Amino acid sequence: MDPYKHRPSSTHNAPFWTTNSGAPVWNNNSSLTVGSRGPVFLEDYHLIEKLAQFDRERIPERVVHARGASAKGFFEVTHDVSHLTCADFLRAPGVQTPIIVRFSTVIHERGSPETLRDPRGFAVKFYTREGNFDLVGNNFPVFFIRDGIKFPDMVHALKPNPKSHLQENWRILDFFSHHPESLHMFSFLFDDVGIPSDYRHMDGFGVNTYSLINKDGKAHYVKFHWKPTCGVKCLLDDEAVTVGGSNHSHATKDLYDSIAAGNYPEWKLFIQTIDPDHEDKFDFDPLDVTKIWPEDIVPLQPVGRMVLNKNIDNFFAENEQLAFCPAIVVPGIHYSDDKLLQTRIFSYADTQRHRLGPNYLMLPANAPKCALHNNHHDGFMNFMHRDEEVNYFPSRYDPVRHAESFPLPPRVLTGKREKCVIDKENNFKQPGERYRSFDPARQERFVHRWVQALSDTWVTHEICSIWISYWSQCDKSLGQKLATRLNVRPSM
């Protein structure tokens, strides 16, 4: 082998996937997990390299969720959930916790219009007495993919073409034609709710499945739901063009002006819970982030309310430097083996350390409002005053001790190392049910948007027929409508 023959400019000439060091990658679709569902192994070097490389692609703008607006307020418990969790901020009705919230669009740049069809980020930071809790989600209850190893590929497909810097349908439809689990997310994105009228009038969801643990150590899977008290409102396509043409920051302005006028936005928090012992009773995997938990089977339970009653003082300090991470939880709330959540636990903190520095949690918007103590030292932009002489643990010169223990999910993990998809994919049932829940006019708008997307001249006949096949498996009449209008037969 000639070590000088291959230079960095020719590294993409290999006929198969490799790591940055040139090692062959035999599976670029699935994370290495315990059994078919997880959790994910940190030893999956390819996964970690892929995510870490992706997290460092942009500076200083966020890779995703670059366009956003923030506000401050409080969360108040209204219903007793102490039987489900020992989280201190949920200990009793009437307890209030200060919060800061950031709403955002997902794919487009920091200066992009807020009227584009795009998911919306919905992130809440609770400043509790036991440290911060970041509930990071979207305005849709599901996501495009179920395994975080595909996240960089997904965002690359949704982002502009690296050659033309134009967002192009053929790239999006090509990528997701390989991932039928994305159909459920597209049933939201191409629906009317794909363009919220503003941030005050949209739902919020934690999206991922977390765990609640009570003081006795009993764990329940949990999903979080935010419901606006003023209702959900959306912009139809022609309305979005008009609004966006007059003000590309309409949602930011609406949020700021509403709070300034004393018209404080408010959401009710609901949860759904499942006993892990019962998770096999469903025809889908409850930890699959491309699925909802049907509310007629798993009803919503009220928890509290969130009120935004104060505008931020500085956009840069409390919006651009505001940083969230799904790994930041408090005692009584923990993770699940949700494959997407497992990778977000690593990826979010990693991207914040890259974008804002290793001491980003010292910034006022991100710092906890309770006392803290650790031996994390120095690094870029460390501005904490410290004068202690003992910076190790344990020590007989420093009385600091371990905190009192708190329960963690007790589930026993078994399984072999493997890269694979979950057993119960069931990709077509829920998006079909959602489409059939629309009234005829809403169905027609949904069909029209898909006809427009699939009519792109760069979309091949093969890709078009695959999408028609997918939607036919969700709902036969939907597939027939698309096939007729596009004059394409489905590829079953």
The answer to whether residues 150 and 143 touch, using CB atoms and an 8 Å cutoff, is no
Peptide bond into 394 cis (omega under 30): yes
Three-class DSSP category at 70: strand
Chain-centroid distance of CA 342 in Å reads 12
Return binding residues: 348
Element of type H or E holding 369:
none
Nearest residue to 304 (alpha-carbon basis) of 140, 103, 132, 73: 73
Element of type H or E holding 121:
strand 120-128
Three-class DSSP category at 7: coil
> What is the phi/psi pair of residue 230, to 5°?
-90, 5
| Nearest 10 degrees: Cα torsion 430, 436, 438, 442 | 110
Contacts 24+ apart (CB under 8 A), 233-236: 233/196, 233/197, 233/198, 233/201, 234/192, 234/193, 234/194, 234/195, 234/196, 234/197, 234/201, 235/115, 235/195, 235/196, 235/197, 236/192, 236/195, 236/445
Q: How far apart are CA 129 and CA 146, in angstroms?
A: 33
Q: Identify the residue whose tokens are 């949904």.
A: 446
Could you confirm whether 138 is annotated as catalytic?
yes
Q: How far apart are CA 261 and CA 229, in angstroms?
A: 17
Largest pairwise CA distance in the chain: 79
Q: Identify the residue whose tokens are 């198969």.
A: 16
Of the residues 138, 139, 208, 366, only one is catalytic, namely 138
Instruction: Assign 3-state DSSP to the chain and report helix, strand, coil percentages, each to 5.
Output: 30, 20, 50
Q: How far apart are CA 335 and CA 490, in angstroms?
A: 40
Could you confirm whether 65 is annotated as catalytic?
yes
The answer to whether residues 222 and 87 touch, using CB atoms and an 8 Å cutoff, is no
Q: How far apart are CA 434 and CA 444, in angstroms?
A: 14
Q: How far apart are CA 76 and CA 96, in angstroms?
A: 4
Return binding residues for heme: 348
**Active site positions, annotated:** 65, 138
